[in-house]
Each structure stands twice: as structure tokens, then as C-alpha cells.
Amino acid sequence: MNVILYPGGRRVDLAPGQTLMEAGRQLAGHGQTAIEAPCGGKGHCGQCRVIVRHGNVTPANSTEKAFIEPSDLDKGVRLACQCVALGPVHVEIPPETMSAVPNLQIAGDEARVALDPPVRRFTVRLRPTTRQHPFSLWRQIEREIAATHPVQDLKAAPYLIRAHDPTAADTKVRVILRGQELTGLYPGDVPAPPLLGMAVDLGTTKVAGYLVDLESGKLLASEGVMNPQTGLGADVISRLTYANGHPDNAAGLSRLARDCIRHLALTLTQRIGAALTGIEQVVVAANTAMHHLLLQWPVRQLGFSPYLPASTAPTTVRARELDLNFAQGARIYLLPPLAGYVGGDHLAMILATRIYEAHGVTLGFDIGTNTEIVLACHGRLYSCSCASGPAFEGAQIRQGVRAVPGAVHAVRMVADGRAILKTIADKPPVGLCGSGVVDAVAELVRIGVVNPLGALDRGHPRVEMVAPGSEPRFVLAGADSVKGGRSLFLWQKDITAIQLAKAAVGAGTSALMAAAGITPADVERIVIAGAFGTHLNLKSAIRIGLLPGLPVQCFSQVGNAAGTGARMVLVSETERHRVETLGSRIEYIELGGNPKFQQWFSQSLRFPELGA
Amino acid sequence: MNVILYPGGRRVDLAPGQTLMEAGRQLAGHGQTAIEAPCGGKGHCGQCRVIVRHGNVTPANSTEKAFIEPSDLDKGVRLACQCVALGPVHVEIPPETMSAVPNLQIAGDEARVALDPPVRRFTVRLRPTTRQHPFSLWRQIEREIAATHPVQDLKAAPYLIRAHDPTAADTKVRVILRGQELTGLYPGDVPAPPLLGMAVDLGTTKVAGYLVDLESGKLLASEGVMNPQTGLGADVISRLTYANGHPDNAAGLSRLARDCIRHLALTLTQRIGAALTGIEQVVVAANTAMHHLLLQWPVRQLGFSPYLPASTAPTTVRARELDLNFAQGARIYLLPPLAGYVGGDHLAMILATRIYEAHGVTLGFDIGTNTEIVLACHGRLYSCSCASGPAFEGAQIRQGVRAVPGAVHAVRMVADGRAILKTIADKPPVGLCGSGVVDAVAELVRIGVVNPLGALDRGHPRVEMVAPGSEPRFVLAGADSVKGGRSLFLWQKDITAIQLAKAAVGAGTSALMAAAGITPADVERIVIAGAFGTHLNLKSAIRIGLLPGLPVQCFSQVGNAAGTGARMVLVSETERHRVETLGSRIEYIELGGNPKFQQWFSQSLRFPELGA
């Protein structure tokens, strides 16, 4: 059974008898669902309302009739967990039913920049065109704008000229100006809808969207969703491999990214009661691979040294070229990639944190599957990317989970060797998320159960082996101690995964400091961006040697700085020029070809000595 | 029976039994045919070869078998005059069979300008991308171009980046640069095809195309065809009326104009063995109505005062936006209209004749259904448009014809009152073309058979009336005197039509001189552009008062100056800037609202006195 889901128009396939809830699960993937279902799809809550727009489904059952008004049933409203498709159907998920991915970091600091957006709106009072006043609509608009705004050779876009009678009546109009070009014309006698821009942080796993009023700079709405490409490859490498497999694959990945941006835009505009066509400008900050996959640019060369981006230029495309039905003149601006593994999202982070204008010595980290590091050192900027792997995001950890409710995000060992666990939303523990794993390892290092080489002390009473000679594990929570949760262990291999990840970051840090000719003692400030970095316990990160051991007050945890940077570029042409200049200022340090890399990596593998 | 004709893909409808020749006639309209048929479709010449690509037709008859090789018959080659469609068919007219409109003025003077085209081509030797030489294809191209050509922030077009592997091999490439953007990339190890541009003079009746080598400025081929819109309205007004009737009509007219440009481009490129995709730039000079109809811009307001163009800005569109499959980055540049009845073609004429830089006082005329006049007077430029009507083009004349073989183009009265007629290609006379009518009227004025008020002398032996009291006519050629031709007459109404037409031109000339504060005695030079003006007998034109009575050496007849101007703009950005500046320099004189117009018109109605 084909099911087409709106917004987005994506197709999923159901086995006979499966409910529409299953379609929502398929759409989201990864055990998530695109349809909100607080009761887990048992028909207890009545929240999973969808609208069947087209096609045959089972008649409404008694559960549905109990939750849905007859007038809504007539309109096709159904409960996704009860309704079964009997043939191809088109189903709309209304905004109140769409599920957001829980606890996704999208806040960031409020962007504080002087407004200088790429599009402006003017209201013009027109006089009728007559023989005595022989001025066309366009000429009158040009004159009015030129009277208050310094612009030369102002021109209307050909599609506007085509669509509008050039003679003017006695009325008011609102026009959109982009550079020297008029790109929109709307009636001026009605209340003005907001002039909208959208910033997108297009990550490998998560996509955050920010809807901004371009005239006030105000954030109107924000939302985070999973990158729908995840189903075709969880990490960058597997996704690039998939893209290289067949041109249709690359086209499909691009389609998914566009759909995701459209979906986000629809969610955000619906939330404020605005139209998609009100969006005049989009700014996308992405890592190089996501940037290329969105534009369907070649990615084969990203798989081998020297890891060349197809282009390192900032790119602007019309929204229509990406099949995004925003305002007719809408443009998509993509921040330039700097290198194969240092993307526009890293530039956005450097912009947002103002690291580029730091005096003295500042290190900036955006820790994830790839960790980008920037070093500002007396006016110069160095940057690199380390393959830290997904351990910090809870993957490659035996009981690792994403930052969902019930994920352990903090661990504290008490005197008797027991572990006190804190979970997201105080739910019974379901696993360890990245900050929880780092905390657990740090605590075990602190109490000496993990030695500097990373080995678990097999003699410790809470270290056990399932069978003699098998992999040891530390019991964080036994079956007896946890109500409604699972037993939790930290396995030897989990510790090793964290060790390798932090060694990669440490080696990158060493490479940048070597390039700048400084030592760790010279570092004065550390900025940590990104979701993982925001929830990271700094003392634990220092304890395991992931971050240099500066006093805690020297650190700033700035949240999703890439999204903030994208929003700054969205509302300010000055910031856009600045970020483009930044790209040429940064000295990119390629770790792959560096003969010293292995040495730095080995040095960074060790955990700091007890008491150090 | 539907017949689709290629190139162009236009559809015509045949009655059962009609041959494909009829399809060619329908396509061309106006008694012309799109398929060359020297024998008139009698099956005597074998020239009307077409290729039936698809569909059922009658089997080849003995006539076709006599002219066409069996191997060609197998390929679908047929004689259009013999072959009958038995159902829907697709027919291709090969270039050698396409008919050009005879004796169309497309020559113009060779444009002499310094080359400064909007696109340039560079050949770049690439080195392989390696870890030691980590430079992408694009970076290498940028460096190479920047070494010899002053360009900043050079960028490759996104569609190029998408289409090409960014790593470079040891090879040569040719790239196309437009401004700061690379818009094309081709193999460099093969002989270079020419870098093509096309200039188009898009007239109400005729369309001339010029294929130009943008690197040498050389004219490679030129061709003229009838404007296929003619079938939907012979003159501007009827075509605008048709366009306003229904949005589909406007879309259809636009489609016809685009098809015509594509057809011309195909003919021209095939003639030199080049590909359509070699065309990188097109410049279109058109009157305001043709310009708007091509772009499908609003034309309703061109029908009433103040006759506003939808926009007077120069316009650039992508070739793809007009469905023209030229080079991927190809642009169509349209010269700006100046006013409702003074178009970019007039600006092109002023550019080509360099009237704008004339010292002293120069008048320029482009005589046609609308006659545009420009007056350059001590550094200032004045311009107007007069509704001279189609008489000068042979229409509204009882026996008027276009400039086809057999058209009388010159008339000389000899002592006994007989008229000596000269015809195009010395064929038996079929009618009078514009210059022939002017000649005939001028001669009758000279010998006094037409008086200053325009009346035929009914007492003259060669003036006759078909019935008493009916319209008199002058016998130019009686049935007895013409072998194989028709009897030819100049009717009283023909004379009146010419009188009204020249009065309109005279009134326009007076209006410009009044605006500049000069008299006819101040005029030092007269430039006459356009097909009609080129074939015009100057003495006759002066005799009837169409042109001021300067010595003949003060006149220049410059041919299709609009086409020449378009070619200048095509090969030179300097000329493009110049023509755009010209637009703002010209003082446009609207005749419609001028209270003195009626007086000037009345004064201009009279023919100059005998002996004056």
C-alpha cells in the first residue's frame, strides 16, 4: 500500500493491515515517528490525528468515534493508530500532530547584529497613470524608493513586469527590493504579513530551522527535525558511499534534504499563521557533505585525499531551483565550505562566537561525529577537522542512546562505588547519551577503576564479566536498583571508543597549536559549540583529557552557534561579507597528510594520571 | 490531419487529400511557403524535399521516384508537392528546402566596433589534482584566467559545478566566462567551434537574424524570415488587439516569436555546420510591441495614451526562460524600449548610424508602418514615432505587393505619358511595392497628372474610370503592353494613402524641429534606415514631400541599421552601455497630445508645387 504523507509528499509503503501510525514511523525512521503518539499508538490518548485526503481506508472504529467529532470525521480526520489503508492513500499530518525530535539543541544565543537584510520592503502610494501624469507603476515605485533609499538603476524583475498592469491606479502597494531588483509586488491596503527569512543548520543527523522577521530581526519560531537522509546512511561516509553508488541515489538524497527544508519551513510558517510564499531568503549552514548533497554536487572526491570540496565559493541559488515554493524571488544562500571536512557550519560558528576577532589565544570546538576545531591566535585563525566518530553522540556505545527522555546525561560515583544517574526528563533510564558516557568514564578515571591506559580494573567489585575471559563491564545500575528501567553497564569497549574519540580531538588540538607555535599553557579561552558540547560536563571533559585543563570560568558553552551564525548572515549583508572574508583568512590544517599526527594521537590516547 | 513541422515543431491542419506543400503554405502564410518550390508545386523541379519522420503518408509516386534516390526514399525523403498525409505526421523541412523570403533587407553596414563581448573563452591547461597539488579544476581555472584577465571573485555557475568532477586530470579545457561567472566548460583537446552570438532584428513583418563569431566579430551567416505572428494580425494594432483578447493569445504570440528565433538560429547554425548550443548570447532589437509580445509582457496599455511600455529598462533573460535551447549559460538581451511606439530597434538604429554624436543637425528616419524619426541637434536628441500606416510597404495599395520578384520598384514617366516600369528580378510585373508606389506618385506629381491637393487629372488620356463617377485610376500598364504580367493601375485611393502616410511623417518631422527650435533649412544631413528606405528613390521621396529637399549628397541610405546596431551591442559591452545611456538622453516627443499636430499634418498633406 502506497501512502503519500503531507507536508512533504513523501511516499512510504505499508504491509496490508498496518496502520497509518506505521507510515509515520517509516517516515521518521530510527524508532522515531513523525506522528505524535503519547500513548504509544494504543488508542488511549486520541492525539495522533491525521487527515486522509484521498484513497480508501477502514471505516472509523469506536475508538476513533470516541475521540473525533462527527464533523471532523466527515472531513477525513482519523487516528493514525487505528486507521488502516485499503489502497493508495494521501495523508496529511497537521502541525499539532507532527512530532518534533525531543530535546534537540536549537536555541543558540540571540543573534545581536545590526539589521542589514538582503531584501527590504517598501510601501508606495501610487497615483493613477494619466496623460498628464504619464508614469507607469514601475516608474512611480522607482522614484519613491530612490527618494529614501540609495539605489541606482532599480529594475523590476521580468516576471513581475509580466504579471502586472504597468499603469497605476490610486492605491498603495508593498514592494520587495533585493539589491537593485524589485522581486515582489503586493497589495498595500491590507495589514502587512511579516517579511520572512529562514536560517537552516543542516546537520548530518539533525536539521534546525529558524524563522526570522527580516524587518525586526526577531526570531519568530524554531524547530528541529531529524535529517531524513539518515535512513540512507547514518554518518557522512556511509551517505557519501550511497550517493556515489548511483546518480539516482544522489538525486534522492538531494530530494530528501529539500523536502526536509520545505517541511521545516511549512511547520514554522504554519506555527505563526504565515504563508510559505512569505519566505524571501534562506541561509543554509551545513557541513561540506550535506552542502554538496543538497545541491547534488559531486562528492566522490570527498572520499580521498586531498578531500576537495567541489567549490569553496559561497553559493546562491533560486529557491525554485531547489523546488522550494517560497516567494517568487526567494534565494537560498549557502555558506561556503572551507575544506572537505570543514564546512560552512564551522564558519557560521566562528562568526557567531566572534572568535575571529579574539585577542590572545582562543580555542573553539564543535564536537560531534566530526569535530571541528578553530584556534584564534594573535589575529590568525587555524582550523582543522578530526574524525572523532559517533561515540560522543551515544553511538558505538553498547547502551548508547540519543538525547531522548530517559537517557542518562550525568553520572556521579559515590563513596561505596555506586553510581548516581540523572536522566533526561527524570524518566527511568533507557541508556547513556554522549554527556552521560563522558561523565561515566571520567568518574571511573577519577576513582581509579579505569587506569590511564583505559583498562577497567577487573578486581573492582562492580566490574563483572558475563563469562570468564569475556569483555569486562562496569555495573552502573543493576537490575535490582532501577525501577522500570534497564540495567546499565559501561563496557570496556565503550571506554575504548571514548578514548579513541578524545584522542582524535586531542591530536587535532595539538596540530593547531603546533601550527601556531604555542603550547596548551598559552590558551586563554575555550568556546564549545553544538548540542553535545552544551550538555557536556566540563570537569568530566577535562578529566578524560578531551578538553585542555583550564579553569571552568575560561570556558563558554554557546549552544548551536552554527544556527546562530546562519541567522546573523540571514539578517545582515555585513555579516555575510564578513563570513565570506573569514573563509579566506582561515589557515586550514589537513591532519591526514601530517607526519606528526600519529604521535599526537598516541599521546592523547592516555587518560590523565590520577591527581593530575 | 495534424502536421507538425520541424524545425520549430509548429502544427498545421490539412484537409484530406492536401499535400505537405500546403502545410508549408499554411506555416508561412500570406501566399508564401516555408518549403522552396521553384516550379510552384507542379512536380517539375524536385526541389521541395522534406523528410517524413513519423506517421502515415501516401506511398511514393512515380514523380517522386524519378527525383529521389531509393536510399533517400527509405529514409523518409519525399516531395512535399506529391506526398499526402493519411493521418497525423511529423515532417522535417531540411535547410536546403527552407524558403527564405525573397529580397529581404538584412545586409546593413558591417559593424565596426572594438570587440568587447559579454562572454569570453579561455583555454586552460590543467595539472592533475594530487595531495601535493591539491587544487581543484575550478581553482586551477580561476588562477589561469586571473593571470591574464582582470577579474575578481570568479565563480563557476552552480550547474557547472554539479556537472563536473572537481578534481583535474592532465588535460586541456575551454571555459566560457561571463562577467565573473564561468558558464561553460568544454574539452580543450579538440578544434574549437566558433563562439557564437546572434543578433535579431525582430520586426512586425520581418525578422532578420545575424550569426556572429564573438571572438572575431565576423558575420558568419544572416537570414531573414517573415514574422510568423503575421497570421494573427498584419500590423501592430491588430496583433495587440489579438493579444488582449485572451491570455492564451498572448502566450501563442510569444510562442511564435520564440519559435521564429529558434528557427532562425537553427537555419544559421546549420549553414555553418555549428550546433545551436554554441550560441552564448543573443541581442534582440525590436519595436516596443514585438519586444513585449516576445516576453509576454502586458500590452493593453500600449493601446491608449500615454502609450506606456510595461518597462523601459534593458532586459536580460536566460535563453532557457524563453525555451531556447542554446548554450546552457546563454542570455537574451533585449534593447530597452523608449516609448510605446519608439522601441529598442530605433535605439539600435541611432547607435549604428552614430547620429547621437553628430555635430550640427541630422535627421534620421526609419520608415515603415510606424516611422520613427530622430533629430540630432547640437548635442541634443529628439525622437518621435508617426503612424504612417502600411502604404510604404505596399499594403493599403490596391495592387500593392511586398518586395517579391515581379514587384514594380521603380517607375519613370516618358514624354508620351507612358510609364516605364522596373520589376524586382526583371520578372513580369505582379504589382507595386512601396518604392514603386512612391515613384509612381512622384512622377505623376512631376508631370502634373496629380495636383498639389492629390487629385488625379481626370482629363489626362491615361486616367480612366471603370464606370462614370467611379474612382479614377491611372493606367501604368495596360493589358496590351505587358507580356505575362497583369494590367497595373494607380488608383486615386492609392495616391491618397501615400499622401496621408507622408503627411504623418512630415508632421513628425515638424514636431521634432519645433521642439529643437529649428527650420528645415537648418538640416544638414539625413540618414535613412530600413528596407523600404534603402530602395527608396530619394528624388521621388523629396518630390512628394516625404523627405526634406536637401541635395542628394546629404543623404545616407544605411540599410537595416537596427540589425547593425543589435550586432554592435552583441559584440561590445561598451556599445551596450552606450545604447542604454542613449535611452536616457533622448527627448521623446509624443505627437498624440501635441495641440499643433493637426496643423503640421494639414500642411504636410499637400504635394509640393510643380517646379518647386
pLDDT digits (tens, 9 = 90+) for B90-130: 888 776 666 543 333 333 444 468 899 999 999 999 999 99
Which chain B residues are closer than 8 Å to A156 by Cβ?
A: 311, 313
Interface of B with A in 161-200 (CB under 8 A): 161-162, 164-167
Judge whether B231 is closer than 8 Å to chain A, CB to CB.
no
Judge whether A483 is closer than 8 Å to chain B, CB to CB.
no
- State the average pLDDT over residues B216-231: 90
Which chain A residues are closer than 8 Å to B136 by Cβ?
A: 308-311
- State the average pLDDT over residues B573-579: 95
- pLDDT band at residue B25 under the 50/70/90 scheme: confident
The pLDDT value recorded for residue A612 is: 46
Q: Give backbone dihedrals phi and psi of A39, rounded to 5 degrees, phi first.
A: -90, 5
Give me the residue from A158, A310, A321 closest to B166, CB to CB. Answer: A310
The pLDDT value recorded for residue B101 is: 35
CB contact under 8 A, B306 and A138: no
How many angstroms separate the Cα of A444 from the Cα of each of A353, A502, B137?
A: 33, 16, 51
CB contact under 8 A, B167 and A301: yes
Asked if the interface predicted TM-score (ipTM) of this complex is over 0.85, the answer is no
The pLDDT value recorded for residue B41 is: 77
Which chain A residues are closer than 8 Å to B298 by Cβ?
A: 161-162, 164-166
Give me the residue from B167, B308, B313 closest to A308, CB to CB. Answer: B167
Give me the residue from B134, B158, B321 closest to A306, CB to CB. Answer: B134
Q: Which amino acid is at B417?
A: G
- Only one residue has cell 557522512, namely A236
Of the given ranges (B7-11, B119-123, B319-323), which has the lowest mean pLDDT?
Answer: B7-11
Min Cα distance B137 → chain A (Å) is 9
The pLDDT of residue B550 is above 70: yes
Q: Within 13 Å, how many C-alpha atoms sit on residue B256's CB side?
A: 27
Which chain A residues are closer than 8 Å to B309 by Cβ?
A: 136, 166
The DSSP string of B575-595 is HHHHHHHHHHH-EE--STT-T
Q: How far apart are the first and last CA of chain B?
A: 62
Which chain B residues are closer than 8 Å to A295 by Cβ?
A: 158, 161-162
Judge whether B594 is closer than 8 Å to chain A, CB to CB.
no
- State the average pLDDT over residues B143-164: 91
Q: Which amino acid is at B350?
A: I
Q: Torsion over CA of A145, A149, A152 and A154, rounded to 10 degrees?
A: -30
Can you tell me whether residue B566 is helix, strand or coil? helix
Could you report the per-residue pLDDT of A114-136, keeping only the tens digit for each? Answer: 899 999 999 999 999 998 899 99
The pLDDT value recorded for residue B46 is: 78
CB contact under 8 A, A162 and B296: yes
Q: Which residues of chain A have pLDDT under 50?
A: 30, 100-111, 612
Question: Do you find a cis peptide bond into B134, omega within 30 degrees of 0?
Answer: no
The pLDDT value recorded for residue B88 is: 86
**CA–CA gap between residue B542 and residue B528 (Å, rounded):** 13
A-B interface: how many C-beta pairs under 8 angstroms? 93
Judge whether B156 is closer than 8 Å to chain A, CB to CB.
yes
The pLDDT value recorded for residue A28 is: 65
Q: Give backbone dihedrals phi and psi of B168, rounded to 5 degrees, phi first.
A: -100, 145
Under 8 Å CB-to-CB from B400, ≥6 apart: which residues?
A: B391, B393, B394, B431, B432, B433, B434, B437, B494
- pLDDT band at residue B426 under the 50/70/90 scheme: confident
Which chain B residues are closer than 8 Å to A165 by Cβ?
A: 298, 300-301
Query: Percent of chain B, pLDDT > 90?
Result: 61
**CA–CA gap between residue A35 and residue A415 (Å, rounded):** 45
Nearest CA in chain A to B129: A306
CB contact under 8 A, A162 and B134: no
CB contact under 8 A, A308 and B134: yes
CB contact under 8 A, B297 and A131: no
Judge whether B244 is closer than 8 Å to chain A, CB to CB.
no
Q: For the beta carbon of residue B389, count every other beta carbon within 10 angstroms.
A: 19
Q: For the beta carbon of residue A588, count every other beta carbon within 10 angstroms.
A: 17
Buried b (16+ CB within 10 A) or exposed e, B294-332: bbbbbbebbeeebbbbbbbbbbebebeebebebbbbbbb
| Strands B407-413 vs B10-13: parallel, antiparallel or unpaired | unpaired
Could you report the per-residue pLDDT of B457-492, keeping only the tens digit for each? Answer: 999 999 999 888 899 999 998 866 656 667 899 999
CB contact under 8 A, A162 and B301: no
Judge whether B484 is closer than 8 Å to chain A, CB to CB.
no
Give me the residue from B131, B317, B593 closest to A305, CB to CB. Answer: B131
Could you report the per-residue pLDDT of B225-263, keeping only the tens digit for each? Answer: 989 998 888 788 889 999 999 999 999 999 999 999 999
Nearest CA in chain B to A592: B131
Nearest CA in chain A to B313: A155
CB contact under 8 A, B305 and A165: no
CB contact under 8 A, A308 and B161: no
Q: Which residue has the higher pLDDT, B359 or B39?
A: B359
Judge whether A82 is closer than 8 Å to chain B, CB to CB.
no
The pLDDT value recorded for residue B281 is: 98
- State the average pLDDT over residues B135-156: 91
CB contact under 8 A, A166 and B131: no
Give me the residue from A130, A158, A593 closest to B317, CB to CB. Answer: A158
Q: For the beta carbon of residue A283, count every other beta carbon within 10 angstroms.
A: 30
The pLDDT of residue B27 is above 90: no
CB contact under 8 A, B155 and A313: yes
- For chain B, the average pLDDT equals 89
Min Cα distance A298 → chain B (Å) is 6
Under 8 Å CB-to-CB from B582, ≥6 apart: which residues?
A: B347, B350, B351, B356, B381
Give me the residue from A129, A298, A315 closest to B166, CB to CB. Answer: A298
CB contact under 8 A, A311 and B131: no
**CA–CA gap between residue A527 and residue A172 (Å, rounded):** 49
Judge whether B313 is closer than 8 Å to chain A, CB to CB.
yes
CB contact under 8 A, B306 and A129: yes
Judge whether A151 is closer than 8 Å to chain B, CB to CB.
no
CB contact under 8 A, B165 and A134: no
Give me the residue from A129, A162, A297 closest to B297, CB to CB. Answer: A162
Nearest CA in chain B to A309: B166
What radius of gyration, in Å, describes the C-alpha atoms of chain B? 27
Nearest CA in chain B to A294: B162
Which chain B residues are closer than 8 Å to A134 by Cβ?
A: 306, 308, 590
- State the average pLDDT over residues B42-62: 85
Q: Which residue has the higher pLDDT, B264 or B419?
A: B264
Judge whether B45 is closer than 8 Å to chain A, CB to CB.
no
Judge whether A296 is closer than 8 Å to chain B, CB to CB.
yes
Give me the residue from A165, A166, A308 closest to B311, CB to CB. Answer: A166
| Consecutive H or E run containing B177 | strand B172-178
The pLDDT value recorded for residue B107 is: 39
The pLDDT value recorded for residue A346 is: 95
Give me the residue from B301, B312, B593 closest to A131, CB to CB. Answer: B593
The pLDDT value recorded for residue B480 is: 63
Under 8 Å CB-to-CB from A551, ≥6 apart: which residues?
A: none
Min Cα distance B304 → chain A (Å) is 9
Give me the residue from B131, B297, B305 closest to A306, CB to CB. Answer: B131
**CA–CA gap between residue A361 and residue A375 (Å, rounded):** 7
Min Cα distance A131 → chain B (Å) is 5
